Structure 1
Amino acid sequence: MAERVDDRWFGDWIGYSGAATFASVVLILANPVSGYPRTLTSAGLVLALFPIYWFLARPSRAGIRANTWRAWLYVVIATAVYFVAYGLNNWANIALFIVSPQFFLVLSALPAAAAIVVINFGGLTVRWLVGDLDPGDVAGVLGLTVLVIAVSIYFSNRITAVTKQSRERGLLIDRLREQQREIAELSEQQGAAAERERIAREMHDTLAQGFTSIVTLGHAVQGELDTDPAIARRHVELMTETAQENLQESRRIIAALTPGRLAESTLEQALGRVAGRFEEETGVPVAFSVTGEPHPALPAIEVVALRVFQEALANVRKHADASAVDAVLAYQREAVGISVRDDGHGFDAAAPREGFGLDGMQARVREAGGTFELETAPGAGTRLSVYLPAPAGPGEVTA
């Protein structure tokens, strides 16, 4: 199977081939043992290997060690050129430092090793044919040739193996960078989704509840205009106040600021106002109490506590048909708790729900690191308890 390689990596091999070719030509010219005409011809043939390698091997940079027809053509031409150059000047054997790594570059391991064996023993045969090899030197030259073959195969294979490992590491780094980019995109998308969910909860827990109050009061006013104008006017005032608060909340949601009810008041005061507004709008009494020694919590925790309290009372308004509500804000040493209990008709907690309120509350509490408890049954009312992490500061003593 073809192995992919980039232009930069292949360029390193081109640089090596060029440098090795130049060095070989210089050494051949510096040793004119067979006379200058034969030496010049031998050097010219070795020099010609470089453009041949460039034109035949370079197109295969996308299929390195793929045994393509271009690769085999280069091996055949390089072997023939080497034989002629070696026959003209035995210093041309230095060209083996060029062609051996190249053979391992363009062919897989076994064909490359075979080509190196052929070119080395072929060179020995050329020396014998041109009469440059004495019978007494055959054994020594043969042993040296075997050694050269072994060294050429070993080091050429190691060079290509190390280069392959380097290339694979480079590809791995590229994949890691791509994965990091994908992770960053996914994180950005997840952050955007979380922000949309947060805004949806904010709108549900503030604007939707406010509009529900306005609608409820509007229906009440329609029946009170003729029978009790004073109550009708008070309900209209409440509608106006609720609309103004909704407008403020919408602006604060857009600006991602702290909820309006907590802007300039404590959590206890904000919950007390919510309870008072609920009682005034619905006529259902709310017994609101605070236990423990009050201490400030993180703003994000107080926001969750306020939203849970608002949603709990909104559920009582819409679903419970209750006659009374007990609400408790409990300060503990490591937490702040919200408890809302009504005497309404309750419901089956395991039954499928269509609304967003309970799920939104659970999500808020879970994200804040708190616990969410719901106790209810048909005809037995509902009790909602939430505990949020709020460690007391040094010197603050809590119940």
Structure 2
Amino acid sequence: MWSRAALAFACLVVEAALNFRGPVMLPAFVFAAYSLATLVGSWETRPGVEFLSIVLETVFFLVYSVFGSGPAVVLPAALFLHLMLACLFLLKWWNTWLIWGASTTVIALAGAPRVDILWPLVFWVGLAVTITSIFWDRREKVLEEGRRQAAEFREQAARIREAERTKLAGDFHDGPLQAFAAVQIRLEVVKRMLEREPEAARQELAALVDLVRRQYMEMRAFLRNLRPVELGGAGLVASIRQVIAEFEKQTGIKVTFETSGEPGLESAERTAEAVQIVREALNNVQKHSRATRVAVSVEGRRNQAVLIIEDNGVGFPFSGSYSLDELEKLGLGPLSIEKRVRSLGGGLLVESRPQGGARLTVELAG
């Protein structure tokens, strides 16, 4: 760097003027030549060269401070200040501490006249720079950890978005899209039947009207499930009560709702996720269970919220009780609910009785 080369040539000129044949002349010439060579050749951009330059500058500072000519301390002081600034910006704190410790020790043990003047400067400036370097190093570690966590959060958000897109595409393909395709095919059949079998065509049209009505209700439920949960300051119980009222209005299915204890979900984010789990469970009841009654309960247990959704429908295509780990391993159960419960670090138990309904128990810690 230019500042190092300027100091090196200033020391060389001063030493040549005061004591051309002195012991510092050769080190001053070598240090000036090295500083100029690194500057012209851009060597300091290479790995390790900057550290070597600081080490050589440290050695030259000590030699010049102890053996240099003249009583003035301006150049040694300038050399040390430049050295400490280079350590602060380019080296780790332990390297700065080592260079400061070596400089302080050599200056304290040397017997040259200017040492008594230089030592307080070396000690206090070096101490201040070392403390600052430690502070900067810790700050950099905190910033690096923050950057790492931010990168992890971005990756997690990207994975969640991709999973939501995949789920949305799958739900749309398996639900409304398949129903529309079925309606189109059956309409073609009715078109051909109108001339030959008008009575059968009218019956098929009536069945199609019923199918379209059911698909309309499913589409509304599908769109309702896509809407984000808006708590509006309401707690878990009030939000679930609102979801249930909307479900009953849209589907005509009767839902009983019971609460006990105080659910221990502290954050609004976890509360919104719990409400979304109930909403998805009710949507699954409408789409798959053929249930006429649903029971929802919320229990508070020792900083936990326990959600129970039970229906009298056809149940899942399996029989028995399965935990979250077992469901994931076997590929069974409501996948979207399983993912939400897993992301919240909760527990899930699915109980199914063929033609006897199903029961979901979700445990979420506060």
Q: TM-score, normalised by structure 2?
A: 0.52
1:340 aligned partner: 311
- Equivalents in 2 of 1:301, 1:150: separation in Å? 72
How many angstroms does 1:251 deviate by?
Answer: 7.4
Aligned to 1:169: 135
- Partner of 2:312, secondary structure, is strand
Cα 1:247–1:158, aligned 2, differ >3 Å: closer, same or farther? same
Partner SS for 2:334: helix
Counterpart-to-counterpart distance in 2, 1:289 and 1:115 = 85
Residue aligning to 1:82: 68
- After superposition, the C-alpha distances for 1:202-225 in whole angstroms (9 at most, x for unaligned) are 555566333455567778889996
Structure 1 counterpart of 2:163: 197
Q: For the aligned residues, what is the CA RMSD?
A: 6.0
Aligned-pair identity in percent equals: 8
Contact 2:350 2:360 in 1 (8 A): yes
Q: Does 1:384 align with 2:355?
A: no
Shift of 1:308: 1.1
Contact 2:65 2:115 in 1 (8 A): no
Number of residue pairs aligned between Structure 1 and Structure 2: 297
Aligned partner (choices 207, 212, 223) of residue 235 of structure 1: 207
Q: Give the Cα separation in 1 of the matches to 2:311 and 2:171.
A: 16
Residue 375 of structure 1 corresponds to which residue in structure 2?
Answer: 351
Partner SS state of residue 237, structure 1? helix
Query: Take 2:222 and 2:291, find their aligned partners in 1: how far apart are those partners?
Result: 28
Cα drift, residue 57 of structure 1: 6.4
Q: Residue deviations 1:22-70, cap 9 Å, x none?
A: xxx9xxxxxxxxxxxxxxx669xxxx999998886696893278533x6
Q: 2:50 aligns to what? A: 62
Residues 190 and 254 from structure 1, CA distance in 2 versus in 1: closer, same or farther, beyond 3 angstroms?
same
Asked if structure 2 preserves the Cα contact closer than 8 Å seen for 1:346 and 1:380, the reply is no
| CA-CA distance at 1:360 after TM superposition | 1.2
The 1:173/1:202 distance shift into structure 2, 3 A limit, reads same
Question: Once the 2 structures are TM-superposed, how far is the Cα of residue 232 of structure 1 from its aligned partner?
Answer: 1.8
CA contact (8 A) 1:336 1:388 kept: yes
- Distance between the aligned counterparts of 1:207 and 1:186, measured in 2? 31
Q: Assess if the C-alpha contact under 8 Å between 1:207 and 1:250 holds in 2.
A: no
- Is 1:56–1:71's contact at 8 Å kept on the other side of the alignment? no
The correspondence for 2:280, drawn from 307, 311, 314, is: 307
Instruction: Tell me which amino acid in the other structure corresponds to 2:334.
Output: L
| 1:163, distance to aligned residue in structure 2 (A) | 0.9
* AA at the equivalent of 2:337: M
Shift of 1:119: 6.9
Superposed CA offset, 1:340-377 (max 9, x none): 2345663354474446x513123446778997542136
1:361 maps to a residue whose letter is I
Q: Is the contact made by 1:75 and 1:103 (CA closer than 8 Å) also made in structure 2?
A: no
Change (3 A) 1:50 1:168: farther
Q: Residues 158 and 243 from structure 1, CA distance in 2 versus in 1: closer, same or farther, beyond 3 angstroms?
A: same
Matched residue SS, 2:293? strand
What residue number does 2:174 align with? 208
Q: Does 1:183 align with 2:155?
A: no
**Alignment deviations for residues 93-149 of structure 1 (CA, whole Å, 9 cap, x no partner):** 54586378469859946864686479744xxxxxxxxxxxxxxxxxxxxxxx5xx64
Query: d(CA) in 1 for partners of 2:140 and 2:110?
Result: 39
Q: After superposition, give the CA deviation of every residue in 1:221-251 in whole Å (9 maximum; x if it has no partner).
A: 8999669434421332244446666777787
- Does the CA contact (< 8 Å) of 2:58 and 2:83 recur in 1? no
2:335 maps to amino acid: D
The answer for the alignment partner of 2:334 in structure 1 is: 358
Cα distance in 2 for partners of 1:315, 1:239 equals 15
Q: Which has the larger radius of gyration?
A: 1
Q: How far apart are 1:185 and its partner, in Å?
A: 3.4
| 8 A Cα contact 2:58 2:99, kept in partner | no
Which ranges of structure 2 fall in alignment gaps of 5 or more residues? 20-24, 39-43, 88-97, 231-241, 260-270, 301-305
Q: In structure 2, what is the Cα distance between the partners aligned to 1:343 and 1:253?
A: 22
The within-5 A match list for 1:114-129 is 116=107, 120-121=111-112
Determine the C-alpha separation between the residues in 1 that align with 2:224 and 2:161: 15
- Mapped to 2, the partners of 1:118 and 1:299 lie a distance apart of 69
Cα offset, 1:330, TM superposition: 4.0
Runs (5+) with no aligned partner, structure 1: 1-6, 26-40, 87-91, 122-144, 259-264, 277-287, 317-323, 390-399
The one-letter code matched in structure 1 to 2:310 is: S
Question: Structure 1 residues 190 and 214 mapped into 2: Cα distance closer, same or farther (>3 Å)?
Answer: same
